[in-house]
Amino acid sequence: MNAKNIVAVLVVVVVIGGAIWYLSSTGKLGMPTPSTSTTATTTSDTVATVNGEAISRTQLTTAEGQLATQQGLSATSSAVLAQMQTQALNALVSQVLLRQAAQKSGIVASSTQVDAQIAADKKQLGTDAAYQQALITQGLTENDLRTQIAAALVMQGYLDQTLNLSAVTATDAEVQAAYKQLSTGQTNVPPLKQVSAQVKQLVIQQKQQQLINALADKLRTTADVKTLI
């Protein structure tokens, strides 16, 4: 197992708890943000409501597919399918709860912050033509992208303010334990020294996600969540 594979395995460990929505807000993981479109969702298309906001069957199906890809699962039985559906729906509910809380917090994203993120995206893609093609591939206009980036920045601000995520650290012992767990039973494992920075960062992300899971659970205790499937 090479360094890249160790990191990839740990990413699976990070997302396996079901709350894959957080890092998706930074574009690092793919759980979709529930749509805020004003297009009406019919009752038959709604699989859940969160404080009156609908989650559609299309959103759930997309989330199930992405969850299956990220966790390497396949719906080989009705039990596995039901498990995937439950995990995906819980993740979507958590997304909505956190977005609603972030919107209520009063945190806003400035146009300067959005411009900076778009500039970073363009730089990463290399050329303006590649950037425009990426928008087309994703079915987005630049205004759509600006809206999504602003929402992600608001979410990041809310989570940092509420949970102080930037203060989360990983001890040497935690990094060593994670490395040992991932390398057990593997061959051609690189030394910890070679991958320690990546493993440390991913352990931190896992700990941050645990805090976010707990926050979402807390928000859910006072929310009006109705499951319709």
Query: Is the model's pLDDT at 162 over the cut of 90?
Result: yes
Residue 185: burial class (beta carbons within 10 Å; 0-12, 13-18, 19+): exposed
Residue type, 13: V
Q: How confident is the model at residue 69 (pLDDT cuts 50, 70, 90)?
A: confident
Please report the pLDDT score of residue 121 as a whole number.
86
Contact 188, 182 (CB under 8 A): no
Please report the pLDDT score of residue 52 as a whole number.
96
Predicted structure pTM score: 0.76
Contact 107, 35 (CB under 8 A): no
Cα 10 to Cα 13: distance, rounded to the nearest angstrom: 5
Contact 158, 109 (CB under 8 A): no
Query: Is the model's pLDDT at 199 over the cut of 60?
Result: yes
Please report the pLDDT score of residue 28 as a whole number.
30
Q: How confident is the model at residue 42 (pLDDT cuts 50, 70, 90)?
A: low
Percent of the chain with pLDDT over 90: 52
